[in-house]
Amino acid sequence: MENLFNLFVRSIFIDNMIFAYFLGMCSYLAVSKTVKTSMGLGVAVTFVLLITAPVNWLVDTYMLKAGALAWLSPELADLDLSYLSFMIFIAVIAAMVQLVEMAVEKFSPSLYNALGIFLPLIAVNCAILGVALFVQEREYETIGEVTTYAVGSGLGWFLAIVSLAAIREKIRYSHIPKALRGLGIAFILTGLMAIAFMSFMGIKI
């Protein structure tokens, strides 16, 4: 339990998707103009991560890893399909996003309306594939760890995009050098926030 909590805090603050790995930057910069839309996207990303990361982990452990197919028949025990992982992961993500979209539309139309266009766009958000690949690379062992890591990363992303959106709303009327307006200042702001987040480094619970 302690281990899980530690992982959770780590993935939100220290291994933050935006500030430490720059994943999902494209939508992070494009959608962070107002707090409301950025919240919608943040929630959607967290939600999709919560579902796709465990699914991808299951697929990886029971189908793709070296010897993972041994449960099917002993002849397949020395088969290693891990070179297929990129293609399978992206397919799983695209399919899950589609499924999630349909499920949300059916069971919670209000959430569906709030998320709007962001749900389908998430399939090509680097943070989703990034989490799947990090899980594979760091060899997390239980589904609990994977889910905790996924939710933590999603919340970290949510935190990052909402705070950038809030700052961008505030600086709309500031006097920024002409050439720095828009994209330039957004990068520098993200850099400053990343420096602030660096102070969490080394925290252990």
Q: Which of 8, 13, 19, 158 binds other proteins (CB under 8 A)?
A: 19
Q: Which of 2, 74, 106, 172 binds other proteins (CB under 8 A)?
A: 172
Residues 6+ apart with CB under 8 A from 160: 16, 17, 18, 19, 28, 190, 193
Q: Would you state the structure tokens that stand for residue 107, as one six-digit string?
A: 């069971």
For residue 74, the minimal CB distance to other proteins (Å) is: 28
# chain residues binding other proteins, by CB under 8 A? 50
Toward other proteins, which CB reaches closer, 4 or 81?
81
Q: Would you state the structure tokens that stand for residue 189, as one six-digit string?
A: 């702001």
Residues 6+ apart with CB under 8 A from 140: 57, 146, 149
Residues of this chain, 61-90, that bind other proteins according to CB under 8 A? 83-87, 89-90
199 makes contact with other proteins (CB under 8 A): no
Helices (H), 13-142: 25-30, 35-59, 85-107, 109-115, 118-121, 126-138
14 makes contact with other proteins (CB under 8 A): no
Tell me the CA end-to-end span of the chain in Å, nearest whole number. Answer: 11
Point out which residues bind other proteins (CB under 8 A).
19-26, 29-30, 83-87, 89-91, 94, 123-130, 133-134, 137, 172, 176-188, 190-192, 194-195, 198
